[in-house]
Amino acid sequence: MSSNADDFKGYDGAALECLKKFKVRVWADAEFGTTRGAFRGIVLPRSETADNDHIVLKLVTGYNVGISVDTIETVKEVGYRKANYKIPEKAFPVSPGKPDVILFGTGGTIASRLDYRTGAVIPAFSPGELYGSVPELADICNLETEKLYGVFSENMGPEQYIGLAHAIGKAIKDGKKGVVIGHGTDTMHHTAAVISFMVQNSPIPIVLVGSQRSSDRPSSDAALNLISATKVAAESDIAEVSVVMFGPTSDDYGLIHRGTRVRKMHSSYRSTFRTIGDIPLGMVDPQDIFTFRDDYNKRRDDREVTIDAVYDDRVTILYYYPAMRPDILDALVDLGYKGIVIAGTGLGHVNKPLYPAIKRAVEKGVHIYMTVQTLWGYVQMYVYDTGRDIMELGVIPCANMLPEVAYMKLCWALGHSHDQEEVKKIMLTPVNGEITDREPFDGYLIYQGGIPEVQEFISKIHR
Amino acid sequence: MTPQDYKALGFKCGLEIHQQLETKQKLFCRCPATHYSPRFDAEILRHMRPTLSELGVYDPTALMEFKTKKEIIYRIERDTVCTYEMDDTPPFMINDQALDIALEIAMLLKLKLVSELHIARKQYLDGSIPTGFQRTTIVGVEGSIPFLGRTLGITQLGLEEDSCREVSDVGHTRVYMTDRLSIPLIETVTEATLFTPAEAAEAAQVLRWLVRSTGKVRTGAGAARQDVNVSITGGTRVEIKGVPRIPSIPALTHYEAMRQKALLGIRSGLTRKGMQPDRFEANYKDVTALVKRSHYRPMRTAIDNGNRVYAIHLPGFAGVLNTEIGPGVPFAREFEGRIKVVACITDLPNMAWSDAPEPTLAGRLWDRLKRESSASNDDIVVLVWGPEVDAITAAKEVAIRAREAFEGIPSETRKALRDGTTYFERVLPGPDRMYPDTDLPPLAITPKRLQQIEAGLKPRPWEMQDRYVARGCKINLAHLMVMDPRREVFEEVIEKEITDPCTAARVLGQTVRYYRRANVGIDKVSDKSLVRLFELFSEGRFTREGFSAILWEMAMTPESTPDVVVERVYPPAPEFDSWESQVREWLDEVDWIRGNPQTEFNLTMGIAMDKLRGRVPGKEVARVVRGIIEEGREG
């Protein structure tokens, strides 16, 4: 048996020694004699994060079990069956009448399969695979895919943002009618915000999409999200950066959220993305797109776009808490941070002991912006003395910009200039709805369960 | 049929027994694992799509379910369901209490225990679980139990979450209640070495006895459900799902064997005609225009509602659909089931065929349809109707099922019906529907954990029963005591020889059991109090007839000690100490009936027992009363 690294995939320590000792490979069909009796099955790769004391077998029934190395007395390889986990690839059909859409892959669970290294899921896609698993896409557009990155969304960073912005610019120049970006959901709203700033005046829709349940599950939201997002990219006239994800937890419709006003609001719900402090742009189901408003940038026929992909990552968010000590702010300044977005309490407040540290930071040229940790509502620092004092120290209120959006915008602004006035002008001039003049009466609807009329609503409408 | 007849047929049967465990919480979340309720607070809607198995293959069941395109509605009640069951929160770590019970039962079944649990996802695209899969794990493999003088092999024991309860399934909408979802369940799989229907039922009984003997499983309606696998020589495995009662197993397995025999008969009939599956072609076409004037009501109503009718030409199938495959069940029902389940055409009848014995379309019309399809006398035409997409699915399904007639017995799971026959449920899934659960890491089962469980392990029920019998307990009572929740009281009473085993078994297995079922609070009475009660009985403080009244009073006032309760129910009554002397007075009360000794005896006993019940054994009273009556007669 010639040995290669994959023969013992994921195994280490005692388990690896055991496999080597008995000359058994991963994917071998083997009989194990143990102190707890005989077990037969196919040796599976082991997750690297699991312990080194067990060998995983797939029994003939399809179940997996772990055998403790301590109990193994004999092993005999009787066969070999390597898994070929491959979504059936079918050539994506091209229809002359359908719009050309490009799908950029950055990672995440929108299209994924099992990863034996971690035992979790990893991204996998090509037009053929996507067509194999979501054939409905061919009814909407001619799809091209390009894998830009393969990272979980928490590992997205400046390099990826800038690369993505340029890739979008190129797609527009190439005459694509829509862009879809497959993205992990955790930081999808960060990317949506920064791309809103880096890619301006787009003639076509730029839609971020992901899934909360990976596509290797029968009940995954991936297929409907992908269908919805592709439909918005191909057919809608919303030439903006948006996030399209499940509206309710039911398999029903998606919501179209403006890229600068959207936030992930639940760690695991399908309907996790919500527009904050405003209403969404619209909704989409496999049949139709409905818009709720008209104040969005309309699709154009030209190929003009402004790509402004700059970024300075010496920025942080300071999430204020009671009795915060000023030394943390001093430390940030001393470490060389150039921008600080404070998520303040209430209308935008921090405690008095922080004042000297703020004063010192501003004097050292650090740009400090105030947002609210309540997420909904405006920073209104003139209401209380505290607010006025803090403004006096040089902290600039960000109106109703979401903290994460303010963070991304400050990174982008500092990529342009470090001049206080210049940065302030960039920050406070809305690019695309990150600051709005008005908060509509129905921009803050968090229904509370238990209230009779809410109970009546959810008993009638699939949420 | 005799066992020899079943042997000649090659009858083989295996069981998969699903048993809910008695735990406080569900298997992968902290919802209470308690009650079912018909009320619900909200509904959510889901669709299911097939996904690849771990080894990169699609499961046939998954593809079949995908063809059906069901909208699945889940009804959710606040008290029984959280976001986990809705598949909006990943699973929490597995319920330790459930795992310990599963390990205990695995030990009783002498299974080889795995060292590390791997949670798998078993795909169920019918929607019975909102995730589209059941989280399940293997606890042990290859064990055995003694059975009818031989051993019955146990293939494996799995620990898994229970599924939803189906409310309705009409057209393209299926509705489920989610309260039962995720209650811990063990699945015990036996080898297919049960050779008669009676053996299958007996094995189910023995296994039920074994799990109940732990006192850690749920009882009552739906707490245990059997899947029964049946095959005969020359056939394939067919699984009858969700048999709620063990007594229905013999009829179900018998009729299933007969159905399989009939299907094999149909196959040989077709081959005898020289027909070959690879050359078999069943074409279908839209014939709505042709049949739209027919008076056949079910089809006419469908057409009036805008549905389409498709005709499928089945060459060589004359007479075949009328072949009986069960009591009063024609082969056509197999087609009807497929159309109903796969094409979602749930209004029955959903098909008609040209040589059906019952009147459907006019003969003239059938002739025309046959002519249009160029069907010979040896052929038949089948009609299906429904919304266009469904009708086409139905037509294709009829062709598929017809082709499967050449295979003989398709691998299916079938639903148990009350009359002992079964109905198509879905294509039998294989190992390709298994997928590792990426949400939970593997869990090592430590030797320490196993030692702890082993230390508390009770003997197996038949061993316990033998011990009770050896102590003088009757076998039928011993059998019940093994799975009685008050078994520990029973054991202490017979161990310390406080009273005779049969009395203890009757009191615990009948009176206490009756009060428990009547829910009068007997469960609040401690084991210790019950033991003390038996002591008072053996000291002669009351008679056997007294248990009923005393236990009632104990249930009503669980805070009182048995001594106090016995005192209250049967206070010392010196006037009864010499009760024999009072018997003549009581006899005088029934003086008016004198001359009819039997009635005289009955009435006197009535008066006497009213006063003496619980204090003096009835037998003793009867002896004295009868003696005095006879004395009087002589005197």
Contact A341, A350 (CB under 8 A): no
Residue pointed to by tokens 């039920």: B208
Residue pointed to by tokens 């000023």: A326
What is residue B351's predicted lDDT score, i.e. its pLDDT? Answer: 96
CB atoms A459 and B62 under 8 Å = no
pLDDT, average across residues A67-83: 89
Q: Quote the CA–CA distance of B11 and B280 in Å, as a whole number.
A: 30
**pLDDT tier for residue B115 given thresholds of 50, 70 and 90:** very high
**A448 inside 8 A of chain B by CB:** no
Q: Quote the CA–CA distance of B145 and B261 in Å, as a whole number.
A: 31
| Chain A nearest C-alpha distance from B61 (Å) | 12
**A35 inside 8 A of chain B by CB:** no
CB atoms A63 and B62 under 8 Å = no
What mean pLDDT is reported for chain A?
90
Q: Quote the CA–CA distance of A163 and A160 in Å, as a whole number.
A: 5
Q: Which helix (H) or strand (E) holds A245?
A: strand A241-246
What is residue A206's predicted lDDT score, i.e. its pLDDT? Answer: 98
Q: Quote the CA–CA distance of A377 and B358 in Å, as a whole number.
A: 73
Contact A128, A91 (CB under 8 A): yes
Chain A, residues 231-250, CB within 8 A of chain B, namely 248-250
B47-60 pLDDT, tens digit each: 988 776 655 566 66
**pLDDT tier for residue A365 given thresholds of 50, 70 and 90:** very high
What is residue B550's predicted lDDT score, i.e. its pLDDT? Answer: 93
**A66 inside 8 A of chain B by CB:** yes
Q: Quote the CA–CA distance of B294 and B589 in Å, as a whole number.
A: 85
B455-494 pLDDT, tens digit each: 999 899 999 999 999 999 999 999 989 988 899 999 999 9
Q: Among A214, A22, A209, which residue's Cα sits nearest to residue A112?
A: A214
CB atoms A269 and B88 under 8 Å = yes
CB atoms B123 and A270 under 8 Å = no
Half-sphere exposure of B58 (CA within 13 A, CB side): 16
What is residue A316's predicted lDDT score, i.e. its pLDDT? Answer: 98
Chain A, residues 15-34, CB within 8 A of chain B, namely 34
φ and ψ of A456, to 5 deg:
-65, -40
- Which regions of B245-360 does DSSP assign to beta strands (E)? 284-286, 308-314, 324-326, 329-330, 351-353
pLDDT, average across residues A345-368: 95
Contact A98, A142 (CB under 8 A): yes
Two structure tokens written together for A335: 């470490």
**A264 inside 8 A of chain B by CB:** no
CB nearest to B49's CB, from A120, A223, A268: A223
CA distances from B417 to B243, B348, B408, B422 (A): 9, 16, 22, 5
What is residue A89's predicted lDDT score, i.e. its pLDDT? Answer: 66
CB atoms A459 and B444 under 8 Å = no
What is residue A117's predicted lDDT score, i.e. its pLDDT? Answer: 44
A86-121 pLDDT, tens digit each: 666 667 788 899 999 999 988 766 555 555 444 444
| Chain B nearest C-alpha distance from A80 (Å) | 13
Global ipTM = 0.87
Q: Quote the CA–CA distance of B505 and B484 in Å, as a whole number.
A: 9
Half-sphere exposure of B229 (CA within 13 A, CB side): 18
Within 8 A of A34 by CB-CB distance, chain B residues are 112
Within 8 A of B55 by CB-CB distance, chain A residues are 58, 81, 83-85
CB atoms A65 and B114 under 8 Å = yes
Q: What is the pTM of this model?
A: 0.86
**pLDDT tier for residue A3 given thresholds of 50, 70 and 90:** low
| Chain A nearest C-alpha distance from B59 (Å) | 12
- Chain A interface mutation, best of B135, B141, B172, highest count of A Cβ atoms under 10 Å: B141
Within 8 A of B44 by CB-CB distance, chain A residues are 248-250, 462-463
Strands A289-291 and A306-307, by their bridges, are: unpaired
Two structure tokens written together for A372: 């609210």
CB nearest to A121's CB, from B48, B114, B438: B438
B355-387 pLDDT, tens digit each: 999 999 999 999 999 999 999 999 999 999 999
Half-sphere exposure of B316 (CA within 13 A, CB side): 21
What is residue A131's predicted lDDT score, i.e. its pLDDT? Answer: 72
Catalytically annotated residues of A: 109, 185-186, 264
CA distances from A199 to A169, A179, A433, B170, B249 (A): 7, 12, 14, 50, 68
A295-341 pLDDT, tens digit each: 999 999 999 999 999 999 999 999 999 999 999 999 999 999 999 99
> Per DSSP, what are the bridge partners of residue A76?
A31
Q: Quote the CA–CA distance of A101 and A98 in Å, as a whole number.
A: 9
DSSP state of B178: -
CB nearest to A83's CB, from B56, B131, B442: B56
B308-329 pLDDT, tens digit each: 999 999 999 999 999 999 999 9
Two structure tokens written together for B91: 């699973």
pLDDT, average across residues B514-532: 91
Is it the case that residue A124 has pLDDT exceeding 60?
no
φ and ψ of A191, to 5 deg:
-65, -40
| Chain A nearest C-alpha distance from B566 (Å) | 50
Q: Which helix (H) or strand (E) holds A80?
A: strand A72-80
Q: Quote the CA–CA distance of B466 and B463 in Å, as a whole number.
A: 5
For chain B, helix (H) and strand (E) counts, in that order, are 22, 23
Q: Which residue of A has its CA nearest to B137?
A: A63
B132-154 pLDDT, tens digit each: 999 999 999 999 999 998 999 99
Contact A161, A186 (CB under 8 A): no
Sign of CA dihedral A172, A177, A183, A187: positive
**A383 inside 8 A of chain B by CB:** no
| Chain B nearest C-alpha distance from A240 (Å) | 29
Q: Quote the CA–CA distance of A262 and A188 in Å, as a whole number.
A: 9
Q: Among A122, A127, A172, which residue's Cα sits nearest to residue A146?
A: A127
Is it the case that residue B343 has pLDDT exceeding 50?
yes
| Chain A nearest C-alpha distance from B227 (Å) | 16
A26-63 pLDDT, tens digit each: 889 999 999 888 899 999 888 877 889 999 998 988 88
- Chain B interface mutation, best of A54, A60, A65, A118, highest count of B Cβ atoms under 10 Å: A65
What is residue A118's predicted lDDT score, i.e. its pLDDT? Answer: 43
- Chain A interface mutation, best of B75, B438, B446, B451, highest count of A Cβ atoms under 10 Å: B438
